[in-house]
Structure 1
């Protein structure tokens, strides 16, 4: 399972059907508070809509069902999935200045099947779905997701796309696993058996109780304050030349590439383990060295999203279980791979000691002027890594062929997500559509590919004399860029 642009997904043509959610009763009272992440996301959507400058994003998952699709049973599986996760049944509202949500009762929901279109071209289908998600998903309107399938005589591609307010990227493997597990059970004539999935709204309540009342002098913000003092700013700047003007937002390029094939990724992991590090630490060390060689500082300073599902009870829940934290380590010239990786490990362990402090709350208290903005103030250094082989249902990924897709309307910087799966190590980047950014990201991507391949081949950053340049992977139809 990996993440790449939906427009590049080679979905075979077929008949499109969607299942649209409706309530058989009026919504109840909006008596649940949104999480810190949700509150900020909703507020930005409101403000941008008022100015006619829509800020929007979605995250989607697609997966395959072999054989003739039993559409009524898939509808039952989809409805059961929505009933199972309270956050998907929520409408978000601003009441008395606060963003609250009103969950609809699970038993008062129904699905209507709607024929959408029939497409005879696989090349246009991905673009059609991407455009449909953009038109259909609205942060300010319920429901906050789209569910459908491309139906063919011998197989079908199921898709679900969500506004970011109700889920994160790590929710996508959960979606695929639970919908397919329920569907397969129903096909066998059995009732689905799925593990408990506590409500994300309970997680949000717990988080707010702990951190809503803190102020800027709270000792729990000490890690953030020390990070700001050393760097001079709340947001760590991306050192790459992206050719952006201050205060301006740009269309987005969505680009995917292959860094290591399966065999190379295994060797890269072995090299990392031999230094006492995890593979993502070796990758982050490689990113830091490439940024430094592109003109960045010797000390890496960046943001890293971290899953808050660590407590076991949230493993099978859908929601925005992501905190963002700063990480810092030394990647100065002259340090070898083992030394830089050791610094990554120390920086990561220090970061994780402060996982509970919500990013949005720290942002609001420590950078109030920038918190009033609708986006991060400038291009920010950002690194994300997921090992898809550890996700729920990973043992069935080869059969189900799930993929994740993200989209954002505009931006002023770059974000890169790295995924490890059974096929290797991959990179998906969203960045501003400027000539400088295209050149810079091409160069950075190639430098990073050479660096991680060099680590896999030699155990370090330096390429011995006589070692030929690492080969490029075979072309992947999904490894391409798409203009937003």
Structure 2
């Protein structure tokens, strides 16, 4: 399944309709929910709150993730409505809202409010008929940007693009409500809910746990942790290598890594500098046969597939920058119980990883070192990043992030690889971040990346070297 920036998605034009969740009486009818907010969610809301205070801008913050699903049949309006309502009922995170409050000393606290199943309905807004994909995507992107603002409910939106013999179902939600794996499983769930509604039968889906229960348990455990926690120790050792701060990213020039005010910010009534939209790259690195050969190479080298991919990135990083360390941050899932397997939510922790490449190791050795580093630092994700930062006094945020996900065991993964669905993301304006996603899917190994528009010329060189190294190794061993 491709992971694309929304404006790059190949969605066929047609009649655009938005499906807007609503509750009669608004949030005033919701109950106060004593379950705690996750650190991830609170950190996200803090950032949104500070952004609004600085820019005086409402609306989305370009931090949403989404999904598009293709159906080769005329759209049934009643079935779409039934499927959307059933999906909202299935996932409690879509029926809750967290309010962030701050006092004059910038001390934050959160309050959660939740509504029961069968209280949310959807309103239909017919936007119009589009004959050109670029104009359609601009409309969808703008709507999703505004609709997914995390300080408001609902911070998500559904849409459909209907044609005489086919239609596309779209879903977007603020990152506080979903992670990448949530969208992969949403492909199966939304498809099954639509089919069941169309055929007049109960949907065949496993029960799921609530992200609210997970958040509450994780928050209480994290708040009880101290600096002796192994996650805190892992992070402290990592930043200790770099003087107690996040490591610099040698792929970025000072121009790209210098702080820039967000769009709309102003100082002394002067226009704020505008950070351009980040470029994006999407590429199939290896087809399934080549990916299997690369997996065999990794195994023969004493490395895992993930270690082999990180090793190739480390070798390419060394060749591009001359850096002695390949220092990155890796998202790692926290779905530690079966009940969370298909839950909608933000089940992600962050772990640091360093691979020593100062001696220009060959790929096999870099793959082994990466595999060992994955094991050595795996505990870093056991505490949310906000809690770790509080415990060890860490300031700043990651600037070099590499994510890996294997979707081969996910229902309907093969159909997604064949173009039946795509994970979408909003555009980003960050000028100091490089993100690389590498996914193993039924169709092979795919890469997706985003990076600053200026001062990041070496990122393309780095990504090309990585892709070339994988291709040559998969071919020649």
Query: What's the TM-score, normalizing by structure 2?
Result: 0.89
| 1-structure distance, mates of 2:294, 2:184 | 25
Distance 1:445 1:259, change over 3 A: farther
Alignment match, 1:311: 337
SS in 2 for 1:214: coil
Alignment match, 2:266: none
SS in 2 for 1:33: coil
| 2-structure distance, mates of 1:293, 1:20 | 49
**Contact 1:30–1:93 under 8 Å retained in 2:** no
| 2-structure distance, mates of 1:286, 1:329 | 11
| 2-structure distance, mates of 1:24, 1:144 | 17
Q: For residue 163 of structure 1, report the CA deviation from its aligned partner.
A: 0.7
1:253 to 253, 273, 278: 278
Q: For residue 456 of structure 1, report the CA deviation from its aligned partner.
A: 1.3
Deviation string, structure 1 residues 339-390 (Cα, Å, up to 9, x no partner):
111111111111224442222211222235x26xxxx2xx622111112323
**Contact 1:256–1:426 under 8 Å retained in 2:** no
| 2:404 is the counterpart of 1:385 | yes
Q: For residue 253 of structure 1, report the CA deviation from its aligned partner.
A: 1.7
**Contact 1:5–1:254 under 8 Å retained in 2:** no
Deviation string, structure 1 residues 42-86 (Cα, Å, up to 9, x no partner):
011011101116644111100111111111111111111111111
Q: For residue 173 of structure 1, report the CA deviation from its aligned partner.
A: 1.1
Q: For residue 245 of structure 1, report the CA deviation from its aligned partner.
A: 4.8
| 2:239 is the counterpart of 1:228 | yes
| 2:35 is the counterpart of 1:66 | no
**Contact 1:32–1:102 under 8 Å retained in 2:** no
**Contact 1:45–1:56 under 8 Å retained in 2:** no
Deviation string, structure 1 residues 88-140 (Cα, Å, up to 9, x no partner):
11122025741232111112111122211210112332232112211222111
Deviation string, structure 1 residues 293-345 (Cα, Å, up to 9, x no partner):
12242332211000111422211100000001101222233422221111111
Structure 1 gaps, min length 5: 460-484
Alignment match, 2:5: 5
**Contact 2:14–2:163 under 8 Å retained in 1:** yes
Alignment match, 1:171: 182
| 2:37 is the counterpart of 1:34 | yes
Query: What's the TM-score, normalizing by structure 1?
Result: 0.88
| 1-structure distance, mates of 2:302, 2:14 | 49
1:39-188 equivalence runs, <5 A: 39-52=42-55, 55-95=61-101, 97-188=108-199
Deviation string, structure 1 residues 233-261 (Cα, Å, up to 9, x no partner):
34233221343252225333231232524
| 2-structure distance, mates of 1:194, 1:280 | 30
**Contact 1:91–1:142 under 8 Å retained in 2:** yes
| 1-structure distance, mates of 2:238, 2:419 | 43
**Contact 1:236–1:303 under 8 Å retained in 2:** no
Distance 1:237 1:390, change over 3 A: farther
Alignment match, 1:401: 420
Structure 2 gaps, min length 5: 103-107, 262-274
**Contact 1:237–1:302 under 8 Å retained in 2:** no
| 1-structure distance, mates of 2:231, 2:286 | 42
SS in 2 for 1:167: coil
1:359-438 equivalence runs, <5 A: 359-368=385-394, 370=395, 376=397, 380-397=399-416, 401-411=420-430, 412-434=432-454, 436-437=455-456
Corresponding pairs, count? 450
* Coordinate RMSD, CA, aligned: 2.1
Q: For residue 408 of structure 1, report the CA deviation from its aligned partner.
A: 4.5
